[in-house]
Amino acid sequence: MVNRRRAPRTDTAPPFRADDGRWQELLEIAARIFARKGYRSTTLQDIADEFGVLKGSLYHYIRSKDDLLFEVVRSVFSTGLDNLRRLAGSEHDPVERLRAVIRGHVLYLIDNLVETTVLLHEFDQLSDERRAEIPIREYQTIIAGLIADAKADGLVKPDVDPQLAALAVLGAANWVYRWFRPGGGRMPEEIANQYADMLVDGMLVRGELRPASGLR
Amino acid sequence: MVNRRRAPRTDTAPPFRADDGRWQELLEIAARIFARKGYRSTTLQDIADEFGVLKGSLYHYIRSKDDLLFEVVRSVFSTGLDNLRRLAGSEHDPVERLRAVIRGHVLYLIDNLVETTVLLHEFDQLSDERRAEIPIREYQTIIAGLIADAKADGLVKPDVDPQLAALAVLGAANWVYRWFRPGGGRMPEEIANQYADMLVDGMLVRGELRPASGLR
CB contact under 8 A, B164 and A190: yes
Backbone torsions φ then ψ of B176, nearest 5 degrees: -55, -35
Tell which phi-psi region holds residue B52, choosing left (phi > 0), alpha (psi between -120 and 50) or beta. Answer: left
CB contact under 8 A, A201 and B201: yes
CB contact under 8 A, A202 and B206: no
Domains of chain A, first to last: 71-201 (1.10.357.10)
Q: Does B123 touch chain A (CB under 8 A)?
A: no
Q: Are B71 and B15 in contact (CB under 8 A)?
A: yes
With beta carbons under 8 A apart, name residues in chain B contacting A37. Answer: none
Contacts of B204 (CB under 8 A, 6+ apart): B95, B155, B156, B157
Q: Which of B175, B197, B208 sits opposite A171 (nearest CB)?
A: B175
Q: Does B43 touch chain A (CB under 8 A)?
A: no
Query: Min CA distance, A117 vs chain B (Å)?
Result: 12
**Test mutation, A143, A194, A216, chain B, max B CBs within 10 A:** A194
- Which pLDDT does position B164 carry in this prediction? 97
CA–CA separation, A197 and A210 (whole Å):
9
Low-confidence ranges of chain A (pLDDT < 50): 1-6, 8-14, 208-216
Q: Which of A170, A190, A203 sits opposite B175 (nearest CB)?
A: A170
ipTM over 0.90: no
Helix locations, chain B, DSSP H: 23-37, 44-51, 65-88, 94-111, 113-122, 128-132, 138-152, 162-174, 176-179, 188-201
Q: Does A159 touch chain B (CB under 8 A)?
A: yes
Q: Which of B168, B175, B190 sits opposite A167 (nearest CB)?
A: B175
- Which pLDDT does position B214 carry in this prediction? 40
Q: Which of B174, B190, B202 sits opposite A202 (nearest CB)?
A: B202
pLDDT per residue, tens digit, chain B (216 aa), is 344 444 544 444 445 555 567 999 999 999 999 999 889 889 999 999 999 999 999 999 999 999 999 999 999 999 999 999 999 998 789 999 999 999 999 999 999 999 999 999 999 999 999 999 999 999 999 999 999 999 999 999 999 999 999 999 999 999 999 999 988 889 999 999 999 999 999 999 975 444 444 443
Question: A2: buried, middle or exposed (CB in 10 Å: 19+, 13-18, 0-12)?
Answer: exposed
Q: How many residues does chain A have?
A: 216
Q: Are B34 and B26 in contact (CB under 8 A)?
A: no
pLDDT per residue as tens digits for the range B70-85: 999 999 999 999 999 9
